[in-house]
Structure formats: C-alpha cells, structure tokens
C-alpha cells in the first residue's frame, strides 16, 4: 500500500494517537512550511511513553523530576518519528498543531498557522538514526504530494532563534532530500 494523506489530514500508515492540543488553521491558510524538531522524555532517554503522554496531556509529574516542570504544557506536533523509524501522528495535517510557539519564518509570524511539525526522537547531543532519516524523507514525499504549496523546510531553531536549538547540531541536513533553506 502506498502511503498518502487522506482528506482529513491523516497519514495512511502512521500509528494514530490523537492529541487534544490542536485547533483549526486560519481560513484559507496553505500549508507551506515543514518544521523539524527533536524531543526525548525524559531528556536524553529514548523509547518510553513520555512524548505520547505529554502530547495527550497525560504526563505524570511524579514519574520523573523533569516532568514536574512540564506536565501542564499543552503542546503537540503532527508527527513523531522514533529512533527505529516508527511513525506516530498526533494531529491531522488539516489542523494546527501546537509545536512552534512564538515563531517567525520569512517575515510570517505564528508558524503553527501554516506549518507541519515533525518531532524526531532525539536530542541536541546525539546523532539521529538512519531509520529516522529514511522515514523523514518518506514522510516528506507524502506531505509534498498532498500539499503542493509545501515549499519550505526549517528547524525549530530557524523559526525561533535564541529560544530553541533543535533539531540541533547533530541533525544532518544533507541526509534530507530537500534543499536546505538559505
């Protein structure tokens, strides 16, 4: 089966875990930006349920000391790519996920309005896996087919400089099949 984005904005081959942390995009807004992030919960640990719990407002503040400071956040992303390449979708692409925060891209404020957010399981301190790059490139192909105006790619640090650092110095932009923005 060929992967595709359906009319509601869901990826046909992603594992769906719906997040309540989303809302409608502004009317007549075209998706034109893909934002790459990194996340791991607890920080620097991979494979656990922390990211899913955060994005679905179920993070237990007593499960890890770091969680006490973030468990009330209401955040999400459209997609999460695990270290093994597993793809989870939290928000349909037709909706606005809450991944970018205060942001600006090429003079446009509020990047959540017109972007799709992809979180890679990782940190600023470690390289990403080949499986993640493979699945990110496959996702990019599906998204660009579904959204013809999707013509920009940026890291979270690019749209929120000074506030964010991800996807970090170990993210290899040369492995992404998309021209790196200037």
**Neighbour order of strands in the sheet with 87-89:** 15-16, 87-89, 79-81, 115-121, 33-39, 152-155
CA distance 20 to 31: 20
Could you say which of 109, 119, 121, 130 is catalytic?
Answer: 119
Question: Does 109 qualify as catalytic in the annotation?
Answer: no
Q: Residues, the chain, total?
A: 182
Do the beta carbons of residue 90 and residue 54 sit within 8 Å? no
84: tokens are 């093994």
CB-side neighbour CA atoms (13 Å) of 4: 5
Give me the active site residues, please. 119
């Amino acid at each position: 089966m060929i992967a595709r984005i359906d009319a509601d904005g869901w990826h046909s081959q992603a594992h769906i875990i719906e997040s309540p942390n989303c809302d409608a995009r502004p009317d007549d807004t075209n998706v034109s930006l893909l934002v790459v992030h990194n996340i791991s919960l607890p920080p620097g640990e991979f494979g656990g349920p922390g990211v899913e719990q955060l994005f679905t407002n179920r993070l237990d503040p007593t499960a890890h000391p770091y969680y006490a400071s973030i468990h009330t956040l209401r955040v999400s992303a459209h997609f999460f790519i695990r270290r093994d390449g597993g793809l989870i979708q939290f928000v349909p692409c037709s909706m606005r996920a809450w991944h970018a925060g205060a942001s600006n891209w090429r003079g446009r404020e509020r990047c959540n309005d017109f972007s799709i957010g992809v979180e890679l399981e990782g940190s600023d301190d470690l390289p990403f896996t080949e499986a993640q790059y493979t699945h990110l490139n496959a996702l990019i192909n599906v998204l660009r087919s579904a959204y013809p105006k999707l013509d920009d790619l940026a890291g979270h640090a690019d749209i929120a400089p000074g506030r964010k650092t991800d996807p970090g110095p170990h993210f290899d932009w040369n492995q992404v099949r998309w021209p790196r923005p200037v």
